[in-house]
A and B are shown apart, each in its own frame.
Chain A
Amino acid sequence: MKLGKIKELLEAEVLCNEELLDYEAVSVFACDLMSDVLSLAKKETILLTGLTNIQAVRTAEMLDLRCIIFVRNKRPDESVIELAREKGICVLFTKYTMFTACGILYTNGLKGADMF
């Protein structure tokens, strides 16, 4: 599913790298624990998290993830957005809670990421 469609479904706002809205995501991982995220297998995964600090971006960077979606209306600091912009990671944020955001994406066909 394209990020643009995900943005629409979650009524999300794009905070940086809007040009990535054409990117095709194949799965989702939803978590606030970065070490759990680091055991992800596929890079075509998007990360849903409530953790809005700079380490969410660092984690995504290490895994070559192209999109982070911050849930529950938590807007990250400008420094966090800036690092994501520099690393080519599209950042969205949505008013929906983690559970609801996951439910919306799952119902629309996105599946969970595989672990290795």
Chain B
Amino acid sequence: MIALDHLTKRYGRFVALDDVSLELGDSGVTALLGPNGAGKSTLFGIVGRLLGPDAGTVTVDGLDVARAQSAELARTLAVLRQDAHVTARLTVMDLVEFGRFPHSRGRLTEEDRQHIERALGYLELGDLRDRFLDELSGGQRQRAFIAMVLAQDTKYVLLDEPLNNLDLRHMADMMKLIRRLADDLGKAVIVVLHDVNFAARYADRIVALRDGRVVADAGVAEFMTPHVLQSVYGAHVDVREVDGTPVALYYS
């Protein structure tokens, strides 16, 4: 369980997170929604120990993120930031091997190699393993990073806007993949999304942030009502059901 306890973060006078208490990662896919500047990336930054909070604590399975050994946390929780890119010239294989760093500090064992092969196979990157990252398409590169996270073999996986820079088909593929990470591999995936309809179709639970506060936290059916959406986006949004999935019509 990832437990956020009275978390507050300010940038100067701007309050990015305002006394947020939340439990994440119980199971399945949790989508984190909210307008720009709502505090989603700040929340990920603190959980991923890239930022320190001004107040409050985050614990992952009882480990205090601010105090625990960085390597120990990296074996429990993997974070993929948005627009992750690398200046060094690496192959897909190199990148995926780095996923094992928290376990073996760079000296790969037989077990590490199995994890790497499994991750490559799962993301269908076997044929691309010797290609350099800068020779891949955006979707392929995104998959290579997910493979690294998968090789990390953690219980929790945090993905920050994994749909960025993907075209429609790859967006759907990515969401199906995220679904499979939860269903087949039993991972608790927490994913920041922009489009409420992707969340409604693929997530189990939706948490919405606005102005640094949690304004809604519910299952899909409960979340996808005009009343809740109004409170999140501050505008009236119609909801229709299409083939059993609620769809928000925010275009009007």
Indicate whether A and B interact. no
**B residues touching A (Cβ–Cβ < 8 Å)?**
none
**A residues touching B (Cβ–Cβ < 8 Å)?**
none
